[in-house]
């Protein structure tokens, strides 16, 4: 296997290929190229998981999933769970594991964040919001497992049902994985460049909370929120979480 194109650092000067890096990965490279302060990291590309996808697609378990009606929710979920159990037994070859270890050592950090980056998410008609997994505070000893679990999340019943609902094929799971230096943030936030409530292009919405922000993106808390007029910079509305 050629490992040269399986890991791509944020510092890459090439034009980012979303089909290999996913939306998050491509955006992180673009932000780095613009000179913005982005915590260092790298992307495990879609190609990296091709051998796993081939092994799974050739299995009886995969065929059983394709033969199961998604409208039969219990049976379809059970078929997806069986596929995920099979995927949990997949391992990286030693040369690639060594390459991941080396890339992680270059980050010079004790822990990393491991995040999914699907080529299909965050598109105009399909967001896949909250369907894939993120792992925080991952140590080097747990890194391979976290990457594998991110891959496994693309086989979850929720993902397949979302694809089915939007008319996307179920036969080609595609996912990349972002590995990024873990920041011990005191405050975290999400910026919506378009107001998600009224779809006003002239307004931005900022949600913020203390800590890493995992509870914020999971929807478990009510954050502090600012609505800002992007043209004037005026704060239109503020609410305390």
Q: How many domains does the chain have?
A: 2
- What was the pLDDT predicted at 218? 75
Pair (222, 109) in one structural domain: no
Residues 153 and 233 in one domain: no
Q: Is the dihedral of CA 64, 66, 71, 73 positive or negative?
A: positive
Do 54 and 145 lie in a common domain?
Answer: yes
In a domain? residue 223:
yes
pLDDT in tens, 32-76: 999 999 999 999 999 999 889 888 988 999 999 989 999 999 999
Same domain, 85 and 100: yes
Where a domain ends, among 181, 199, 229? 181
pTM: predicted TM-score of the whole model, two decimal places = 0.81
95 within domain boundaries: yes
- Asked whether residue 2 is assigned to any structural domain, the reply reads no
Structure tokens at 4: 């040269």
| Longest CA–CA separation in the chain, Å | 59
| 148 and 111 part of one domain | yes
Asked if residue 46 belongs to a domain, the reply is yes
pLDDT at 94 over 90: no
Instruction: Determine the structural domain holding residue 162 and report its residue range.
Output: 7-181
Question: The domain spanning residue 218 has which CATH number?
Answer: 3.30.470.20
The CATH number given to whatever domain includes residue 28 is 3.30.1490.20
| 1 located within any domain | no
Instruction: Report whether pLDDT(4) > 70.
Output: no
Q: What's the half-sphere exposure (Cβ side, CA atoms, 13 Å) at 226?
A: 13
Average the pLDDT over 137-152 and give the result.
93
Question: What confidence score (pLDDT) does residue 3 get?
Answer: 40
Please report which confidence band the pLDDT of residue 122 belongs to, taking 50, 70 and 90 as the band edges. Answer: low
């Amino acid at each position: 296997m050629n490992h040269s194109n399986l890991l791509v650092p944020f510092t890459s000067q090439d034009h980012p290929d979303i089909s290999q890096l996913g939306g998050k990965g491509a955006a992180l490279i673009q932000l780095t190229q613009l000179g913005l302060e982005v915590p260092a990291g790298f992307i495990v590309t879609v190609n990296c998981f091709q051998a796993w996808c081939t092994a799974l697609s050739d299995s009886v378990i995969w065929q059983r999933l394709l033969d199961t009606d998604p409208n039969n929710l219990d049976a379809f979920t059970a078929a997806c769970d069986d596929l995920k159990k099979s995927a949990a037994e997949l391992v990286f070859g030693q040369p690639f594991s060594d390459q991941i270890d080396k890339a992680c050592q270059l980050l010079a950090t004790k822990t990393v964040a491991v995040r999914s980056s699907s080529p299909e998410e965050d598109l105009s008609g399909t967001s896949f919001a909250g369907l894939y997994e993120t792992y925080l505070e991952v140590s080097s000893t747990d890194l391979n497992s976290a990457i594998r679990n991110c891959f496994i999340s693309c086989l979850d019943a929720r993902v397949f049902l979302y694809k089915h609902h939007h008319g996307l094929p179920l036969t080609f799971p595609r996912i990349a994985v972002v590995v990024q230096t873990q920041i011990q943030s005191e405050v975290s936030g999400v910026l919506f460049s378009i107001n998600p409530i009224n779809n006003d292009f002239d307004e931005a919405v900022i949600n913020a909370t203390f800590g890493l922000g995992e509870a914020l993106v999971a929807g478990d808390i009510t954050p502090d929120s600012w609505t800002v007029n992007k043209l004037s910079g005026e704060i239109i509305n503020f609410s305390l979480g």
